[in-house]
Amino acid sequence: MGLFTWKLSGLPGAQVAHSLAEAVRQKCSPEDVVMLLKEVPGAEEAGGGGGDAAASSRFNPLKIDVLIQTLLHLGAKSFSHSFAAISKYHYVFKTLAESEEAQICILKSVFELWRDHQQMMVVIIDKMLKTQILECSAVATGYSRREMSHEASPSSSIFIYDVVWLTQSF
């Protein structure tokens, strides 16, 4: 069993993430990914929540996390692999990034996956800004929130500057 599968085995959405990873390896279509993501339990079913009911009804954070963690993990071999995943499944990303809160959730998932590889995080966020998956306002709001800025170490202040600087060019 691979490290990725082992980490996900007991988590909500783990089975869908495994199915998604297999489908992506088989070069499935974006529509197939959307169908697979419909199997992700809602935030309340997954034991999640933590937000108000209105925010939870607009988007499913677990669905976003499963997509980001799976696709970007599979694309981790190189920048071009990650870019290919973002490009091929752009429709899925755009569908899930329907609100600023959903975009901030995408940002948090990218942050969780790449917290130890700041260059990859900056490049992925830049790609998501250029492909209009993320909006500048969501990036600025997301990185000003306590949950992401609090986890930033003193050495990562340059990274935060880089991410905020990216938003200035749009």
Say what the pLDDT of residue 6 is. 40
Say what the pLDDT of residue 113 is. 87
pLDDT digits (tens, 9 = 90+) for 105-145: 999 999 888 888 888 888 999 999 999 999 988 988 887 76
pLDDT digits (tens, 9 = 90+) for 45-83: 444 444 444 444 478 999 999 999 999 999 888 899 999
CB 159 within 8 A of CB 121: yes
Which of 25-34, 40-49, 75-84, 89-98 bottoms out in mean pLDDT, i.e. has the lowest? 40-49
Mean pLDDT along residues 4-28: 81
Say what the pLDDT of residue 114 is. 86
Higher pLDDT, 8 or 109: 109
Separation of alpha carbons 101 and 59, rounded Å: 8
Higher pLDDT, 6 or 16: 16
122-130: long-range contacts at Cβ-Cβ below 8 A with a sequence spacing of 24 or more?
A: 122/159, 122/162, 122/163, 122/166, 123/79, 123/82, 124/72, 124/82, 124/86, 125/163, 125/166, 126/166, 127/82, 127/83, 127/86, 128/86, 128/93, 129/166, 129/167, 129/170
Structural domains of the chain, ranges and CATH numbers in brackets: 14-41+57-168 (1.25.40.180)
pTM of the model: 0.78
Separation of alpha carbons 92 and 2, rounded Å: 26
Say what the pLDDT of residue 140 is. 83
Helix, strand and coil content of the chain, in percent to the nearest 5, comes to 70, 0, 30
Q: How confident is the model at residue 165 (pLDDT cuts 50, 70, 90)?
A: low
Q: Give me 79's structure tokens.
A: 């920048």
Higher pLDDT, 45 or 17: 17
